[in-house]
Amino acid sequence: MKTVPHLLTLLDPTGKPFYVYHRKIPKDLQATVGRDDLKISLGSSLEEAKVRISHLSQQHNSLFHLLRDPKKVGHAEAKALLIAHHVQFDDVLPGNDSKSV
């Protein structure tokens, strides 16, 4: 089985898999963004998760590019979008008793 970059598979409390986009923020941008990673819940459909990951990855690559030059138009917006995209891991799974697959 081919691995999908940035795809994290977890189990909900009933044992059903669900998918999370997990992306490390480049080290040179971590201080700007105020965190070292992003986690976004993608739901329980693997096919839909793969499509969303492709779009999110492209968006985040563009945002990282904007963040590397504070003089570029959109720098503040890029930072705000990255922070808004992030979902706290504790919020992804109620009960916070997830297990990695």
For residue 93, what pLDDT is reported? 46
Q: Is the pTM of this model over 0.75?
A: no
Residue 14 CB-density burial (10 A; 0-12 exposed, 13-18 middle, 19+ buried) = exposed
C-alpha closest to that of 38 among 2, 3, 79:
79
Instruction: Render pLDDT for 39-92 as a digit per residue (tens, 0 to 9).
Output: 999 999 999 999 999 999 998 998 888 888 877 767 777 777 777 776 544 444
Cα 36 to Cα 24: distance, rounded to the nearest angstrom: 6
